[in-house]
Amino acid sequence: MPQDQVRQFLDFEKPIKDLLDEIELTKERTEKTKIDLSDQVAQLEQKVAETRKSITRNLTDWQRVQLSRHPDRPYTHKYIELMTENYVELYGDRNIKDDKAMVGGFATLEGQTVMIIGQQKGSNTKKRQLRNFGMANPEGYRKALRLMKLAEKFNKPVITLIDTPGAFPGLEAEERGQGEAIARNIYEMMRLKVSVICVIIGEGASGGALGIGVGDRVFMMENTWYTVISPENCSTILWRSWDYKVKAAEQLKLTSSKMNEFGLIDGIVPEPDGGAHWDYATAARNLKQQLVKALKELTPKEPQQRINERIDKFSKMGFWEEYK
């Protein structure tokens, strides 16, 4: 977790930044004057906690989108590190190459071996370029499918962590069959004999998310979004400008609470006050508890029962009206 001195802040987090700066100044004053100001520091720290809680309670849809993209937010590898043991990363799709935007491997979760797969973003400019900003190519989705089939072979549950602005839209990705790779994954995930749990831990955009998003249980972290298109791109299509992205975020109904109301997800994983980037350990602990609970519910079921329930679950999504 970033130290206060190197934290990055969004516009609406400025009150927290001001308080943290004041705490640092107070500590420096203590060192210079040798006057005990610990009570004042404690009061300021309490105010930081209250401000974080206040900000969390009053977030707009667009602010939650911003939080999902926060540069200090934990990514897939961080959750794997904090939730699991004995993680062994596996590489390559056995066809083209290893896609660094998609990671996965076997790990131990509360004593149970699982296959955990997810999109990985980078923590700095060089790593973001290496990971292609979490946007997988076709080989990334084929790699994910290979790992799922490997888990099925050894009868191990599959957990996917979704965090992507979308599948990579480049020409070379289309040439190698981006759409086919995502469609194949959706088809195969419907028919996997093992338990499948999907969690949106950041951005959940378009087919890039759906490519590893079909499961017996689908959860969202509290400050994440899940929809067919990003607010910026929606704004560009509808209004020919990014200026309406805030309005687009509201109209898309993309937050975890809205997804839960629509019945498109099975639950919301709470985050620490202010967002997951303030406390990695608590965010990972909350997610781990949800995963362990879901695995206990799913493991006793027969494979065909899981498949039938999964197909039925996704077949019933959405609502419509018929006009005669």
Q: Does domain 65-316 have CATH number 3.40.50.300?
A: no
SS (HEC) of 262-305: HCCCCEEECCCCCCHHHCHHHHHHHHHHHHHHHHHHHCCCCHHH
pLDDT at position 35 is 80
| β-pair partners for 268 | 220
Q: What is the pTM of this model?
A: 0.93
| The pLDDT of residue 3 | 60
| Cβ within 8 Å of residue 169, ≥6 positions away | 135, 178
In the chain, where are the structural domains located? 11-58, 65-316
CA gap 303, 312 in Å, rounded: 14
- Under-50 pLDDT residues of the chain: none
E-assigned strand segments in the chain: 85-89, 102-109, 112-119, 158-164, 196-205, 217-221, 225-227, 267-269
pLDDT at 321: 78
Identify the pLDDT of residue 2.
Answer: 63
pLDDT attached to residue 123: 85
pLDDT value, residue 220: 98
Q: Cα separations (Å) of 169 from 136, 173, 179, 212, 218?
A: 9, 7, 10, 17, 25
Is residue 232 helix, strand or coil? Answer: helix
pLDDT on residue 29:
86
Amino acid at residue number 107: A
The span from the CA of 67 to the CA of 81, in Å, is 21
